[in-house]
Amino acid sequence: MSSDVVALLRTELGDRVDTSPACLAAVRADKSGHGADGVPLAVVHAASVADVQAVMRVATATRTPVVPRGAGTGLAGGANTGGGEIALSLRGMDRLVEVRPDDLLAVVEPGIVNADLNALLEPHGVWWAPDPASRAISTVGGNIATGAGGLLCAKYGVVRDAVLGVDLVLADGRLLRLGHRSVKGVTGLDLTSLVIGSEGTLGVVVGATLKLRRLIAGERVTLTALFDGVRAAAVASAAVTASGIQPAIMELMDATSLAAVHRLLSLPAPPPGSAQLTIQTDGPVAADEARAIAQVLTEAGGRVSVAADDAEGEKLLAVRRAMHPAMETLGTALIEDVSVPRSALPDMFDEIARIERDFALVIPTVAHAGDGNLHPNFVFAGPDVPPVVWDAAEQLFHAALRLGGTLTGEHGIGVLKRRWLADELGDDQWKLQRDIARVFDPLGILNPGKVFAP
Amino acid sequence: MSSDVVALLRTELGDRVDTSPACLAAVRADKSGHGADGVPLAVVHAASVADVQAVMRVATATRTPVVPRGAGTGLAGGANTGGGEIALSLRGMDRLVEVRPDDLLAVVEPGIVNADLNALLEPHGVWWAPDPASRAISTVGGNIATGAGGLLCAKYGVVRDAVLGVDLVLADGRLLRLGHRSVKGVTGLDLTSLVIGSEGTLGVVVGATLKLRRLIAGERVTLTALFDGVRAAAVASAAVTASGIQPAIMELMDATSLAAVHRLLSLPAPPPGSAQLTIQTDGPVAADEARAIAQVLTEAGGRVSVAADDAEGEKLLAVRRAMHPAMETLGTALIEDVSVPRSALPDMFDEIARIERDFALVIPTVAHAGDGNLHPNFVFAGPDVPPVVWDAAEQLFHAALRLGGTLTGEHGIGVLKRRWLADELGDDQWKLQRDIARVFDPLGILNPGKVFAP
């Protein structure tokens, strides 16, 4: 039966069907470290919408599960492909099809890498704002499938705010064009938004119409502030938000994270126990805003340094961007992703401290403090997440929910958080969501076992 | 059977069930002028979520259609209630429940009027950006149900960009809490976005968590530019967008509209054939932006006047805001709502001129030129839309679709556009959308005959 499926795929798609052991092994995992069980049937390297449609027709005819995949940089196992499944790679469909600076839109294929897209857009004076930390390696299609966020979201929005339409191949191979090219449009239900963040459970994104912004004129000012502990830094970041000034970036690193990155980058060790905020302002009044923010931070007990220029500002941000490599030097990292209302950041850090005590764990944490999204890291030895870590993670999720927050700000549910999904949604909404997915995919062949699996 | 339904409602809801002839007559129509056939069973003035749940339980038990209603200011007949139907008014649930300037969010009941909400938010230094022209009389719940837009959308977004979560009562009376209080959140499918613009077909919106903005600091500068004809004005507005400067407001009035408003307001008649752009900039560099825009407009052949101050600026905008009253002095107005990519505005005005010639009609048109949303008005005598007007409107819709646009930018489908919905969506997407609605409402009692009716 499996060999029949591969044979059918080969008939339709020839050498775009890959069954090399290395390739089959690679698609079993994403950047979460978690891997699926079993060996996938095949990886199909789609080169066109027609290829995707052909795969889905074979899959429907043979009831074979299909896992859509971009660059495999997800952190929740959403693109992991296991035994009996087809991995459908969109990575090769990477063209920028159209740029319209006058309409502030671009049409792209899903496999284009976020940073590559922005490099192509820059000469036109425009950019696509979503900036996940993975932007140098993650695809726009993957950003859409996960509803990705990033550092700039409080000021410039998340993926949901930056997509006008998507082209979607359904489970049975039909192609739908969802959404609009116009700024406004309310024709029926907003299926574009429904697809954003649906993690491959509703269809295969084969194209997107993106909402662009003009490049930001004016200067950028970057500053850091050191605090005696993470709670003080969190209180200060909430004070910045409450002051009414909107920084482009406001990142928080706790003491463990900061020390680990300084070690990795061979920088002088920060004062013991120090947490740090890194803030960037941009636009026509960036300097005024940076001055006002520096005052708020100083009043909150921070020791402020302002970068002399863009190059020095980039160095300060590089410290934040080195967080994940620094964690990898310590062991295997499970990167969590809870998000809370901004005013609840100090309380969430208290909860993390409590969980560290209760479970005798160290949980190095960075946060997109401008939008309330925290990335607590659990670091351990070996490939498998120890039970104690999942117990602690569960406490983390429940604490975020109690504070009015969510399990996942930008990484998605995938396989790693599916067992807590109903805790947030409630059973009624969980079932409603799953039933909606079944309308798109009545046979249950689209990324089964992800998000809604019991 | 109908009397049984009313009796059941009275048992549950007492004097909140209204069967007075005047009230039953009022809910048959909205501001479109179109009215439903037959006399509704009852109007229920809900005072709480529990009231809404009680209505829906009776409706489910008796298979009775329910039409949710805010202030009845819709322009597509979406809230019109006909024979055998219950009108469920949310207008009385109008509390501002919570304001969090530090988290930039507010929690509201659905019946609060948009302008009333903003008056309450202003002392907190925040506002809710969606500004439909009806904002003085329309409710936030209605704005959500229609996915409303307004004048400020190109710079500050539409309703979809300004809602974090909704509380939704399902057809069977169960209450779901959709969405988040945090800036980011990707837990499962984005049902909040799905509800926005669903026109009462998925459930009854009984509460919302709104995303707020800080009040804009700095000055506002308002200017107008007169052009020899609407095409020249449209080309100039596209040039402003293409220049990279983002005005807060950019409105276009064609010659017929401008002349009608000047007559209504007893202003001196504009030069014959003149169309006008009215533009406002705001924020810290508003004056610089206005100067740059004035130059673009002058180079495009416009005769520019800049308001001396805010009061004069308001007078210039009042001309634009008097459009609907001016149309009402001419007869019954069917206000259309096509939207196109901004660069296609000049072509869309050419299409309108062609349709005027082909059908021997005058179609006074205003446009939110900043976002490409046009409101062509068909004016006629008597309450019923003449067949020739629908024939012309169909040409208008098809022209907008050819130019990459949509049937409706911000008013919705309701009853008035349902026969063209599949022209835009395609049959496959039309059916998929209807099947999704059935997941929420398996008995088909939520606003039947609207949006998806064949």
Which pLDDT does position B409 carry in this prediction? 96
Q: Does B336 contact A at CB distance below 8 Å?
A: no
Helix (H) or strand (E) holding A303, with range, is: strand A303-306
For B105, the token pair is 């969010």
Which strands make up the sheet holding B17-18, listed edge to edge?
B17-18, B42-45, B86-89, B66-69
Q: Which domains does chain B have, with CATH numbers?
A: 2-89 (3.30.43.10), 96-214 (3.30.465.10), 220-402 (3.40.462.10)
SS3 A104: coil
> What digits encode the pLDDT tens for the residues A347-365?
999 999 999 999 999 999 9
Q: Does the CB of A146 have a partner CB in chain B at under 8 Å?
A: yes
For residue A413, give how far its alpha carbon lies from the nearest alpha carbon of chain B (Å): 6
What value does the mean pLDDT of chain B take?
A: 96
Query: pLDDT-derived band of residue A384, with 50, 70 and 90 as boundaries?
Result: confident
- Single-letter amino acid code for the residue at A32: S
* pLDDT over 80 (residue B301): yes
Across A108-122, average pLDDT: 98
B124-140: average pLDDT? 96
Helix (H) / strand (E) containing B120 = helix B114-121
pLDDT above 70 (res B297): yes
List pLDDT tens digits, range B168-187: 999 999 999 999 999 999 99
In this complex, the residue of B102, B242, B244 whose CB is nearest that of residue A241 is B102
pLDDT tier for residue B151 given thresholds of 50, 70 and 90: very high
Burial of B15 (0-12, 13-18, 19+ CB in 10 A): exposed
pLDDT of residue B1 exceeding 80, the answer is no
Q: Is pLDDT above 80 for B3?
A: no
Average pLDDT over residues B326-334: 90
- Nearest chain A Cα distance for residue B254, angstroms: 21
- Residue A284: how many other CB atoms lie within 10 Å: 16
> Is the distance from CB of B373 to CB of B254 less than 8 angstroms?
no
Q: A308: which residues sit within 8 A by CB, 6+ positions away? A: none
- Rounded CA-CA distance A364/A386 in Å is 17
Check if the beta carbon of residue A378 is closer than 8 Å to that of residue A165.
no
Predicted confidence at residue A33, as pLDDT, reads: 84
Are residues B186 and A147, on separate chains, in Cβ contact within 8 Å?
yes
Q: Tell me the residue type at B71.
A: A
* CA dihedral sign of residues A105, A108, A111, A115: negative
Phi and psi (nearest 5°) for B345?
-55, -50
> Residue A131 is encoded by which pair of tokens?
């900036």
Average pLDDT over residues A117-121: 98
- Whether ipTM tops 0.90, in short, is yes
Distance of CA B176 to the CA centre of its chain: 25
Chain A neighbors of B426, CB-CB under 8 A: 176-177
pLDDT (tens digit per residue) in B79-126: 999 999 999 999 999 999 999 999 999 999 999 999 999 999 999 999
- Asked if the Cβ–Cβ distance from A413 to B285 is below 8 Å, we say no
pLDDT exceeds 90 at position B218: no
Write the pLDDT tens digit of every residue in A389-444. 999 999 999 999 999 999 999 999 999 999 999 999 999 999 999 999 999 999 99
**In angstroms, rounded to a whole number, what is the distance separating the alpha carbons of residues B78 and B36?**
10
- The β-bridge relationship of strands B86-89 and B66-69 is parallel
The strand pair at A86-89 and A66-69 is best described as parallel
**What gap in Å lies between CA B133 and CA A313, rounded to an integer?**
44
Residues in A touching B191 (Cβ below 8 Å): 194, 429, 432-433, 436
* Mean predicted lDDT score pLDDT of chain A: 96
Of chain B, the percentage scoring pLDDT greater than 70 comes to 100
Q: Which residues lie closer than 8 Å to B128 by C-beta, 6 or more apart?
A: B106, B114, B117, B118, B121, B140, B162, B210, B211, B212, B213
Q: What is the pLDDT of residues A38-70, one digit of tens each?
A: 999 999 999 999 999 999 999 999 999 999 999
Interface touch A186/B410, C-beta < 8 Å: yes
Distance CA B413, CA B409 (A): 10
Instruction: Measure the CA–CA gap between B90 and B46, rounded to whole angstroms.
Output: 6
Look at residue A278 and tell me whether its pLDDT is greater than 70.
yes
Q: In this predicted model, what pLDDT tens digit does every residue of A291-340 receive, in sequence order?
A: 999 999 999 999 999 999 999 999 999 999 899 889 988 888 999 999 99
Q: What distance in Å separates residue A403's CA from the closest CA in chain B?
A: 10
The reported pLDDT for the residue numbered A1 is 62
Q: What is the pLDDT of residues B351-393, one digit of tens each?
A: 999 999 999 999 999 999 999 999 999 999 988 899 999 999 9
Tokens of A140: 């726009």
Select the residue of B100, B198, B284 nearest A189 (Cβ to Cβ): B198
Please classify residue A231 by burial: count the beta carbons closer than 10 Å to its beta carbon, then call 0-12 exposed, 13-18 middle and 19+ buried. middle
Closest residue by Cα to residue A260 from A320, A209, A307: A320
Helix (H) or strand (E) holding A214: strand A213-214
Band (pLDDT 50/70/90 cuts) for residue A76 is very high
Hey, is A105 helix, strand or coil?
Answer: strand
**Any residues with CB less than 8 A from the CB of B117 and at least 6 apart, and which?**
B96, B106, B108, B128, B140
Position A3 scores a pLDDT of 74
Asked if B429 lies within 8 A of A101 by C-beta distance, the reply is no
B376 touches chain A (CB under 8 A): no
For A152-166, what is each residue's pLDDT tens digit?
Answer: 998 999 999 999 999
3-state secondary structure of B452: coil
Give the pLDDT score at A304: 98
Chain A stretch 116-135, residues whose beta carbon is closer than 8 A to a beta carbon of chain B? 125
Chain B stretch 162-201, residues whose beta carbon is closer than 8 A to a beta carbon of chain A: 170, 174, 176-178, 180-191, 193-194, 196-198
Question: How large is the average pLDDT for residues B256-276?
Answer: 96
Residue B384: what pLDDT? 85
Enter the tokens of residue B218: 């700095």
Nearest residue in A to B369, CA atom: A183
Q: In the prediction, which pLDDT does A91 show?
A: 98
Distance (Å) from the alpha carbon of B284 to chain A's nearest alpha carbon: 7
